[in-house]
A and B are shown apart, each in its own frame.
Chain A
Amino acid sequence: MRTLVFLLQKEFRQIFRNKGILRLIIAMPIIQLIVMPLAADYEVKNVNISVVDHDHSAYSRRLTDKIMASGYFKLNDYSHSFDQSFVEFQKDRSDLILEIPNHFEKDLVSQNSGSLFLAANAINGTKASVGSAYLSRIIANFNSEIRLEWIAPARAGELPVIEVTSLNWYNPFLNYPFFMVPGILVVLVTMVGAYMCALNIVKEKEVGTIEQINVTPVKKYHFILGKLIPFWVIGLFVFSVGLLGVGRLIYGIVPAGSLWLIYAFLAVYLIAVLGIGLLISTYSATQQQAMSLAFFCMMIFILISGLFTPVDSMPAWAKVVANFNPVTHFIQVMRMVVLKGSGFGDIKHQFMIVSAMAVFFNAWAIFNYKKTT
């Protein structure tokens, strides 16, 4: 016990003396949480559209106006030939081309049908698919609008129209920061925890001080606890800056669920993450090696965590990988507790998995950490 006190005292002294670390643990959550949610906004805006209007009719102009009025599109060019617009397309200035054929209005009125052609630039898949979906809805809307105009008001009631009204639960205004910030916070804590822990231990290996510790009677678990506890505290601090500082003050995010529950989960989660950091350090001899290894793990952890894309839409094998990823579980828990106000019963499953991971990674790391080579 006394040994641990000396190890902790030494570790905290070194951390507080290192201006770089201090700046990092304060500036990193603030800057990342301000910048990343802006980049991770799924709402597609500013879709550049080229309208090729062969018809030049009142209807074709009305449709164009309606598209522009939606606010999602920017008119890139309004031309008379598809080829001309296609040049814009090829230069990547335009994401969608809407071609309105000749006699569009005439066909619509006389034959009661019209056709439009839509081309999407799939280089940017999201813009193409979401943009054309928006556009299709606008056109469908336009269609029912003009039909309603043709029918005499008295008969309007007879027209079978199914209208869908949707309501977004838990995040009524589809506020993306509400969705992203809790997730990004998880990534942040994971990176800070794993990297700092791994690099710190490997630095002792590089400098040779670990050898000096290894010739003392210090027990393995003392040494490891002496490393884990400081970074566990730092992890809690970074998370609090993110959630209670940036999250609340800038994004106005107030967890719907219990703060205690979030911190209880965080406490266990951090042990798992620090275990991963520890494990990385036992496999690396230099800080470069540790960095590369940690970077490799983090990339996979983050991309497969469901932060940006839903885990449910991944192939079965990727879902298995995602299940072995602690980040996935904490992101789920954060979204559930922060947005939905879930209680312990709802997150029990994740709690158990992450607890198991905490035991697993630390046991592996302790097993692999050797005082003797």
Chain B
Amino acid sequence: MKEVVIKTDKLTKRFGDFIAANEISFEVYAGEIFGFLGANGAGKTTAMKMLCGLSAPSSGAATIAGFDIYKQTEQIKKRIGYMSQKFSLYEDLTVLENINFFGGIYGLSNRQLRLKREELIETLGMQQEAKQLVGSLPLGWKQKLAFSVAVVHEPKIVFLDEPTGGVDPVTRRQFWDLIYDTSDKGITIFVTTHYMDEAEYCNRISMMVDGVIKALDTPARLKEQFSAASMDEVFFELARGAKRKAD
């Protein structure tokens, strides 16, 4: 039996009459790369924010790393990392200062911080840029840094919301190498994306349409199920029925 790290049961978020996420239920296993797919406005970010404790669910239940998302948010927060759609490191701090700050507020000791700084600069190859303000870095570098900072405290799960939006294919490839390295360390990856080639890199994926999870399986079995040649086709097949307009 695989260890379940995320378990949701009919998790729902309403904004007035609008149901952004409608009774979503799924499980994510420890160590897997879980792709959370869907068109714009399908409710991916809303669902993710509920799991991270940024948004309170309207109804339903969920546990993250065994902790209840209503009552044990602080325990959850120690065990998760989050990288938002918007780049959200401090642009007026340097690379090192950002690593130090986020590591510090996650409670790393000075020794751990020093090791982390060295390790991250080494893996990112940012020796030259370590003392530059983050605002002056190119987008691809910023995103790699943001990812590294999101896992600086070695969480059990890391949530990535469209981490590779707007970057070139080479940087995207490098970004996925980082994700694989992190996954190898046993950190569960929960990632949303619009790139179907990236969907293929995931162990399992779910497809969200109009706030509901329409399909959930490995990429290979999804292609089989929809008798499609590629994930692109699977996506079209499922998203065609969407009633919500993309935002």
Contact = CB atoms under 8 A, between A and B. Distances in A.
Q: Specify whether A and B are partners.
A: yes
A373 B77 contact: no
A13 B82 contact: no
B176 to A, nearest CB: 22
Given A6-B104, A208-B87, A208-B88, A215 B93 contact: no
A372 B92 contact: no
Interface size class of B (residues with CB under 8 A): 20 to 34
A218 interface: yes
Contacts of A71: none
B53 interface: yes
A14 B90 contact: yes
Given A10-B97, A371-B53, A372-B55, A216 B102 contact: yes
A214 interface: yes
A17 interface: yes
Interface in A355-373: 371-373
Contacts of A212: 82, 84, 88-89, 102
B80 A215 contact: yes
A209 B107 contact: no
Contacts of B49: 373
Nearest to B109: A2
A56 B91 CA distance: 79
Interface string A201-244: 00000011101111111100000000000000000000000000
B74 interface: yes
Nearest to B79: A217
Interface residues of A, number: 25
Contacts of B53: 214-215, 371-372
Given A18-B92, A212-B82, A215-B82, A3 B107 contact: yes
B56 interface: yes
B88 A209 contact: yes
Contact of A3 (B73, B78, B92, B104): B104
Contacts of A207: 86, 88, 91
A7 interface: yes
Interface in A255-295: none
Nearest to A215: B82
B190 to A, nearest CB: 13
A232 B85 CA distance: 33
A9 interface: yes
Given A208-B88, A216-B105, A217-B78, A10 B93 contact: yes
A13 B97 CA distance: 9
A310 to B, nearest CB: 45
A3 B55 contact: no
Given A208-B84, A211-B54, A372-B53, A3 B89 contact: no
A8 to B, nearest CB: 11
B142 to A, nearest CB: 13
A217 B92 contact: no
Interface string B21-43: 00000000000000000000000
Given A208-B86, A212-B89, A10 B74 contact: no
A311 to B, nearest CB: 43
B201 interface: no
Nearest to B75: A217
B222 interface: no
B191 to A, nearest CB: 16
A372 B90 contact: no
Nearest to B78: A217
A166 B6 CA distance: 83
Contact of A211 (B73, B80, B84): B84
Interface string A87-112: 00000000000000000000000000
A216 B101 CA distance: 12
Contacts of B236: none
Given A13-B93, A208-B87, A7 B105 contact: yes
Given A13-B97, A213-B105, A215-B80, A373 B89 contact: no
B92 A17 contact: yes
Contacts of B107: 2-3, 217
Nearest to A10: B101
A216 B92 CA distance: 20
A159 to B, nearest CB: 79
Contacts of B77: 215-217
A3 B86 CA distance: 24
Interface in B91-147: 91-93, 97, 100-102, 104-107
Nearest to B80: A215
A216 B106 contact: yes
A218 B106 CA distance: 8
Contacts of A10: 90, 93, 97, 101
A211 B49 CA distance: 10
Contacts of B100: 6
17 contacts: A3-B105, A9-B104, A10-B93, A13-B92, A13-B93, A14-B92, A208-B86, A211-B84, A211-B86, A214-B53, A215-B52, A215-B82, A216-B102, A217-B105, A218-B105, A372-B53, A372-B55
Interface of B: 49, 52-56, 73-74, 77-78, 80-82, 84, 86-93, 97, 100-102, 104-107
Given A10-B97, A13-B93, A215-B81, 11 more contacts: A3-B104, A10-B90, A18-B92, A208-B87, A208-B88, A211-B86, A215-B82, A216-B102, A217-B74, A371-B73, A373-B55
Interface of A: 2-3, 5-7, 9-10, 13-14, 17-18, 207-209, 211-218, 371-373
The 5 A-B residue pairs with the shortest CB-CB distance, nearest first, are A6-B104, A208-B86, A215-B82, A208-B88, A212-B88
